[in-house]
Amino acid sequence: MDITFEGNRLTLSDGAGFRHTYSALWLRESSFSPEFRDEKTGHKLGDGDTLPLDIALASATLRDEELRLAFTDGHRCAYSTAWLVDTARKPFFQELAGDKELFDASLDPLPWHDLAELQASPAAIRDTLDDLARLGFALVRGMPSQLNGMQAFIDLIGYMRVTNNGAIEDIKAVPPEQAYDLSMTPRALEPHTDNPYRIPQPGYVLLHCLENAAEGGESGITDGFRAAEELRKESPALFDALATTPVNWFYRDDQAILEDTSTFIELNRQGEICHVRFHGRSDRVAAVDPDQLDAFYKARRRFIELIRSDTLEVRLKLQAGEMFIVDNYRIVHSRKAFRLETGARHMRQAYIDRDVVSSRQKTLRRSLNAKPWRAR
């Protein structure tokens, strides 16, 4: 690794093609020195905007893969070259750590885990969350077939999100006058992500099977990122229509009015897909330019064809004591219709916020002794 510096710039390079120039003020403000940064929280002890704007490097030496720096304000600090390279290559935080694997219907094996192993081994919890990062979903066996049996899993992660429908909800057919959602009927549920009308949209969906003896009722799981990338390859123009056309999502009943406006596909700062929304029963496209709407309607039609396709959709039928957890910003899920006269079907559903899952995975990656969130 080679370094060159002059004034307020430092360049780090190696023989393998890495080269990046760093700002002296950025290097100064990033200091891990305990006189500048709290060792427990990582927060700065003072505001960064109080540092001199004209700060420069007084010296820079590289020794044993450690870069030692001195600045014109007298501050000294050191960085590993591995850390500096990583911050240049990955300048933004990942919500969940690890590379994504875009999957299709051929996915094998499915990411099954066992509750008893999760309860016995923090490493098994970490591996489950790593699957969630990689594939956008994970499956758990050995769950208690009891009304609030999924609490045993939630307790390993942190806490659930409570909505106007409560915490853990019933998903089963009920008399029409009691139903407040299509999931409470035996009809098929078209591919969708849950609740795009909430702010924020629920991050992760847990579906726990207590009983599934009815004929039908199979679940479908499609990687929305894979479907979106397929569309982008086929037609960049149609992909752009879904990424730019505003859609109004809404839900209304006697106690709630829930509304939000967003796009079907959302991109991050690097142009990567970071959020897919799809809910054909609650969307109302904004009355924008008709030419843009023509492209959007064509793109929406092709997008749902991809989501429903036999080549992309993974199908499974949860049995009693089984559960899935899906990334609601990525996975589009569905349900086949079922026949009540052939047996009972009873599921329980809950949501977990994204920061809860993200924090649990990252703290377990830091230390297997990490504990899940609890109220302080």
pLDDT tens per residue across span 75-87:
999 999 999 999 9
The neighbour count for residue 66, using CB atoms within 10 Å, is 13
Identify the pLDDT of residue 373. 86
Identify the pLDDT of residue 74. 96
Distance from C-alpha of 161 to C-alpha of 173, rounded to nearest angstrom: 23
Contact 281, 183 (CB under 8 A): no
Q: What average pLDDT does the segment 41-64 reach?
A: 95
Identify the pLDDT of residue 329. 98
List pLDDT tens digits, range 333-362. Answer: 999 988 888 988 899 999 999 999 999 999
Query: Burial of 10 by CB count in 10 Å (0-12 exposed, 13-18 middle, 19+ buried)?
Result: buried
Instruction: Spell out the CATH class of 112-366.
Output: alpha beta
Distance from C-alpha of 171 to C-alpha of 193, rounded to nearest angstrom: 16
List pLDDT tens digits, range 290-314. Answer: 999 999 999 999 999 999 999 999 9
Identify the pLDDT of residue 174. 63
List pLDDT tens digits, range 207-262. Answer: 999 999 999 999 999 999 999 999 999 999 999 999 999 999 999 998 999 999 99
Task: Identify which of 193, 186, 218 has the alpha carbon closest to the alpha carbon of residue 316.
Answer: 218
Identify the pLDDT of residue 175. 58
List pLDDT tens digits, range 97-135. Answer: 999 999 999 999 999 999 999 999 999 999 999 999 999
Contact 168, 348 (CB under 8 A): yes
Contact 137, 329 (CB under 8 A): no
Tell me the DSSP string of 288-335.
--HHHHHHHHHHHHHHHHHHH-TTT-EEE---TT-EEEEETTTEEEEE
List pLDDT tens digits, range 3-16. Answer: 999 999 999 999 89
Q: Which helix (H) or strand (E) holds 192?
A: strand 189-192
Same fold, 2-89 and 112-366: no
Per cent of the chain over pLDDT 70 is: 97
What b-and-e string marks burial along 195-204, b requiring 16 or more CB atoms within 10 Å of the CB? bbbbeebbbb
* pLDDT band per the 50, 70, 90 thresholds, residue 367: very high
* pLDDT band per the 50, 70, 90 thresholds, residue 180: low
* pLDDT band per the 50, 70, 90 thresholds, residue 185: confident
Q: Which stretches of the chain are DSSP H helices?
A: 24-29, 81-89, 115-120, 122-135, 151-157, 224-234, 236-244, 290-308, 354-366
Task: Identify which of 243, 259, 185, 193 has the alpha carbon closest to the alpha carbon of residue 216.
Answer: 185
Instruction: Spell out the CATH class of 2-89.
Output: alpha beta
Domain boundaries, the chain: 2-89, 112-366
Identify the pLDDT of residue 335. 92
Enter the tokens of residue 317.
Answer: 């039928």
Task: Identify which of 241, 236, 235, 237 has the alpha carbon closest to the alpha carbon of residue 292.
Answer: 241
